[in-house]
Chain A
Amino acid sequence: MHNMVDKNEASWLGQLRRGVADRCVLALLEHRERYGFDLAKTLSQAQVIAGEGTIYPLLSRLRRDGLVDTVWRESTEGPPRRYYALTPAGTDALAQFRTQWTQFTRAVNELMDNAKEVSSE
């Protein structure tokens, strides 16, 4: 029984992560272009992505959707590197997500607080 709860927990969290990971990429690119490697490290440390490698199919999808673009930059060590940058469509998508996310988290927080009040009465 306890196992089932654990499993459900892992599953909703996993789904939530998968749902927001690409929006987090857009947020990281808001102010500057970034190297895929750095995006992978940052999101993996924040536990938003399951493995560093999963960032690449995700970036590929964002690129196909026209939300990010790639640019080649010279590197001090080794060959030129592919950097990722936000497109105007990506900027719009990020702004839209910000609003929705704020509304969504506020609504969920209120529901959680509400449930707490009811149970303490």
Chain B
Amino acid sequence: MSSSENHHDRLVEEYIARIHQALRDLPPERRDPIVEDIREHIRTSRAAMAPEDEAQIRQLLDDMGDPAAIRAEAGLPSTPQNGWADRLAPWLILFGGFVLIVGWLAGVVLLWNSSVWKTRDKVLATLIWPGGLAAALYAAGIGMALPGSVQPSSCSGGPGILTHCTSQPGPGAFHVIAAILVLVILIAAPIVVNVRLIRIYHRSVA
């Protein structure tokens, strides 16, 4: 076998490997016959070229089509799955903040590397809230401490005239409701956003 034929074989094998990769979500009993048929198709084409050159081989592989198109025809979603990475990302973003900040950062990296989610979803998941639930609880902790320590007073009127001041009577009912509301939003937002990410992921693999 000549060295150029070796090189052509390598080009073909690279293409077959890409097909294999594109169809990796299929069960082997469905994937293998398709890959075998494509291999045979290429063999039949090459048998008709004698002698073959590299341009012909490249043209042949080009005519076979984009692995993504073959994947689509096999009824698989157009976005190749990253498997564990896509499954893990939303959970890391949600709870990773508790593992210092590293867990959350890892989640964000996996999120942005994935092709399952749209940019819009990625931006949302990154911004609500950086640090995930850990950040939400931390912020809630600060928020809880604030109403008791800060007692603002409001004054109306101007210099020289009667100045009317009302002292704020500590954390009133309104403040308590507002604080609970903020707390709920702080905790619910990352949960809602990440549940959405998980739903999109499951729809993409269904």
Contacts and interface: CB of A to CB of B under 8 A. Distances in A.
Interface in B17-68: 19, 23, 30, 33-34, 37-38, 40-41, 43-45, 47, 63-66
State the main secondary structure of chain A at its contact with B. Answer: helix
B59 to A, nearest CB: 11
A60 B43 CA distance: 19
Pick the most buried of B19, B34, B63, B73: most chain A CB atoms within 10 A of its CB. Answer: B73
Given A57-B73, A57-B74, A58-B73, A51 B41 contact: no
Interface in A41-84: 44, 49-54, 56-61, 64, 77-78, 81-82
B65 A59 contact: no
A38 to B, nearest CB: 10
Given A37-B44, A59-B37, A44 B63 contact: yes
Contacts of A60: 30, 33-34, 74
7 contacts: A36-B37, A36-B40, A54-B65, A54-B69, A56-B37, A56-B41, A58-B73
Interface of B: 19, 23, 30, 33-34, 37-38, 40-41, 43-45, 47, 63-66, 69-75
